[in-house]
Amino acid sequence: MHNIGKEEVQAVRKVIMDNQFMRYRGGETGYVERFEKALCKKLDVKHALTMNSGTSALISALVGLNIGPGDEVLVPAFTWVATALAPLAVGAVPVLVDIDETLTIDPRDVEKKITRHTKAIIPVHVCNLVCDMKSIMRISRKYKLAVCEDACQAVGLQYKNKYVGAIGHAGTFSFNQYKNITCGEGGALLTNDDTINERALIYHDTGCYTRSHASKITHPFFAGVNYRASEIQGAILHVQLKRLNDILKKLHTRRKLLAELLSQSKDFKVAPHNDPNNAIGIMLLFKTPRQAKLFSQRTGCRMMLESSRHVYTNWEPIMSQETFHPKMNPYKWAKRKIKYRKDMCKESLQILSRMCNVPFLYDTPIPEIRKFTRKLLSVKF
Ligand SMILES: *Cc1c(COP(=O)(O)O)cnc(C)c1O
């Protein structure tokens, strides 16, 4: 699936031969820093901070935004569980919000879930689909809430000609094995805000007071963890970033063709999209769950309700409200009783039960895409 090869091997080889594995180890500019500079330039964002995972980037973003005990953070009911775990890691609690037919957070339900204790929204650009950022940023201004975009599944995508991850107050990428570009495990935090960047810089690097860049930091130092990325990760990412445009362009061409051909169906519709002009991901919507199931069985296209790991009902560590120590349980610090029930986001379950994914890769040959759509259109209900 990934476009990865000789150039990445050469870059990693250089890291090993130079015996230069840690990003802050020495004088000359390393790969991690070069990658960050290239990322900032590409996304038109002021700061990019590479980390060891997307989860680390999300947690550091919330630290950056000063989210903590007593705070509520709005997250969508359909996402990788890490989105909902990040608030817990900083002592806050996730409050679940329904998705709409775009598979992303429903701005109308965001407004309904806001309480006096809500501090931030984490819109998730899931499955290479983008959120309705215009409505979300409007809500953020109206209620003075921070927006941390989880763009872990949408690296390089645009919403209305702005890069996702660089629209909210903070944004995060993941570079794990399943993402648009990869180095095995990795992530990045993006922000235009100097304070968020400084706080994340301190937090992700055990307080960072010993570094040569410590003298430039104006924020007081505080206790942190180690979420640093290594030069091996940086070396791979530096090459991967150069490949990203081509991958996304090819995905977009294929998505456009799929949408054109599949919109002819009378049995299903192509799911609405928050920015069709830049679209990469595509979903199909059926009138009934029975039809979606039948379609899934006949074609192998996954019914979204069955992509179980992403559905909130299956987020065990969230639903159980268990933490590693009873005294470190953010639900005890919440300003009101937070309860989760399997049916709390019914609208989301209803949509997911009528939705199927259309799988394709950046290098799927165009004739194969056409052949596949003929198969999908020929299903009899
Ligand atoms: C992958 C992913 C993450 C976490 O990324 P890791 O690098 O695996 O920690 C967070 N949110 C979403 C939506 C993801 O898909």
pLDDT at 373 over 70: yes
Mean pLDDT across 26-39: 88
Mean pLDDT across 146-151: 98
Q: What are phi and psi of 187, to 5 degrees?
A: -160, 175
- Interval between CA 80 and ligand 1 midpoint (Å): 6
Q: What is the pLDDT of residue 306?
A: 87
- Interval between CA 44 and ligand 1 midpoint (Å): 22
Atom of ligand 1 nearest to the CA of 83: 11
Distances (CA, A) of 228 to 44, 77, 86, 97: 23, 29, 17, 31
What is the C-alpha to C-alpha distance for residues 41 and 154, in angstroms, rounded to an integer?
A: 18
- Interval between CA 34 and ligand 1 midpoint (Å): 23
Mean pLDDT across 353-363: 96
Residue nearest to atom 10 of ligand 1 (CA): 82
Mean pLDDT of the chain: 96
- Interval between CA 127 and ligand 1 midpoint (Å): 11
pLDDT at 68 over 80: yes
Structure tokens at 266: 């009378």
Mean pLDDT across 304-333: 94
- Interval between CA 188 and ligand 1 midpoint (Å): 11
- Interval between CA 82 and ligand 1 midpoint (Å): 6
Pair 280, 353: CB distance under 8 Å: no
Mean pLDDT across 137-157: 98
Residue type, 186: G
pLDDT at 32 over 80: yes
- Interval between CA 367 and ligand 1 midpoint (Å): 33
Give the chain's domains with CATH numbers.
Answer: 6-241 (3.40.640.10), 243-309+345-377 (3.90.1150.10)
Structure tokens at 328: 């470190």
pLDDT at 28 over 80: no
Comparing CA positions, the residue from 364, 362, 368 lying closest to residue 180 is 362
- Interval between CA 148 and ligand 1 midpoint (Å): 14
Give the tens place of pLDDT for each residue, 4-14: 999 999 999 99
* Probe residue for ligand 1, chosen from 59, 128, 150, 178 as the CB with the greatest number of ligand atoms within 8 Å: 150
- Interval between CA 164 and ligand 1 midpoint (Å): 15
Atom of ligand 1 nearest to the CA of 187: 7
Q: What percent of the chain has pLDDT over 90?
A: 96
- Interval between CA 368 and ligand 1 midpoint (Å): 30
Atom of ligand 1 nearest to the CA of 174: 7
The residues, ordered by sequence, that sit 6+ positions from 97 with a Cβ below 8 Å of its Cβ are 74, 75, 76, 77, 105, 106, 109, 110, 113, 345
Atom of ligand 1 nearest to the CA of 58: 10
Task: List pocket residues of ligand 1, CB cut-off 6 Å.
Answer: 53-55, 79-80, 82-83, 124, 126, 150, 152-153, 174, 176, 187
What is the C-alpha to C-alpha distance for residues 8 and 30, in angstroms, rounded to an integer?
A: 15
Q: What is the pLDDT of residue 2?
A: 79
Give the tens place of pLDDT for each residue, 191-243: 999 999 999 999 999 999 999 899 999 999 999 999 999 999 999 999 999 99
Say if residue 296 is exposed, middle or buried (CB neighbours under 10 Å; 0-12, 13-18, 19+): buried
What is the C-alpha to C-alpha distance for residues 90 and 87, in angstroms, rounded to an integer?
A: 5
- Interval between CA 96 and ligand 1 midpoint (Å): 17
Q: What is the pLDDT of residue 381?
A: 86
pLDDT at 47 over 70: yes
Mean pLDDT across 278-296: 96
CA 139-142-146 angle, to 5 degrees, is 65
* Probe residue for ligand 1, chosen from 85, 126, 153 as the CB with the greatest number of ligand atoms within 8 Å: 153
pLDDT at 26 over 70: no
* Probe residue for ligand 1, chosen from 104, 174, 175, 178 as the CB with the greatest number of ligand atoms within 8 Å: 174
What is the C-alpha to C-alpha distance for residues 161 and 164, in angstroms, rounded to an integer?
A: 9
pLDDT at 27 over 70: no
Atom of ligand 1 nearest to the CA of 86: 10
What is the C-alpha to C-alpha distance for residues 301 and 208, in angstroms, rounded to an integer?
A: 47
Q: What is the pLDDT of residue 162?
A: 97
Say if residue 223 is exposed, middle or buried (CB neighbours under 10 Å; 0-12, 13-18, 19+): exposed
Give the tens place of pLDDT for each residue, 102-123: 999 999 999 999 999 999 999 9
Q: What percent of the chain has pLDDT over 70?
A: 99
Atom of ligand 1 nearest to the CA of 55: 9
Residue type, 52: N
